[in-house]
Amino acid sequence: MILDLHLHSDRSDDSRAPVEAYLKLLQRKRDERPLDGIVLTEHRQFDPGRDFRDLEDRYGFLILNAAEIETDYGHVLVYGVNDDILARFDFTDVRLPAQEVITEVHRLGGVALPCHPGRPTVGMCAHYETRGPLDGVIAVEALNGGSKKGEDDRVRELMRQYGYAGFGGSDSHLVSFVGICATAFDAEIRTMDDLVGELRAGRCRPVDFRKRPTAPAS
């Protein structure tokens, strides 16, 4: 299965993309971006009451709900958010302690994974250089649709040095970017519990659907 693990809908303060618009585009572009589903990671929030069953039935895509939070080591995606995690952490706090987030989210049944690690200020690489590594990191976002030149290269070196698994996400705030980077899983994923289980085991790999320039004929 192939899922875009990182994107934002009009629930996030910096995105105006409706969830249904994402699905319509993916339906039209199945040949270019053969995704099976998306995971919404709204900034600094999580709504346990969001229900996507009608859209899932209408468009044939899996839709799951996660969150992107801000920590002292950069931004982190949290999957498997539950009542215990929400009681433990205030997602609106922009200086959450990353080590506590990673450790406690895992203990409470979810998984917390650093996103766009190569990005200045809000990525993990810069903090590793000055403060040292975090314990318990399983995987990092190896491909991010919004990365600038050199950022994903920094992440590859981070993965090589620390043995992290990698995943991918579009980080889309615009409908047109959905699915340009995503994550492949060998297992079938139908629920958030399925997704958390595969991520916690590091059974994931990033995939890139961005168009590359064709090399000239020799």
- Put the strands of the sheet holding 74-79 in their side by side order: 111-114, 74-79, 62-71, 37-43, 2-7, 181-184, 205-208
Taking only the tens place, the pLDDT of each residue in 122-168 is 999 999 999 999 999 999 999 999 999 999 999 999 999 999 999 99
pLDDT confidence band for 14 (50 / 70 / 90): confident
Question: 128: helix, coil or strand?
Answer: helix
Looking at the chain, the whole-number percentage of residues with pLDDT higher than 70 is 97
pLDDT for the residue 212 = 60
The dihedral built from the CA positions of residue 57, 58, 63 and 68, taken in this order, carries a sign that is negative
Residue 138's φ and ψ, nearest 5 degrees, are -95, -45
At 159-172, the pLDDT tens digits run: 999 999 999 999 99
Domains and CATH numbers, the chain: 2-208 (3.20.20.140)
Mean pLDDT of 46-68: 97
Q: Which residues pair with 169 in a beta bridge?
A: 144
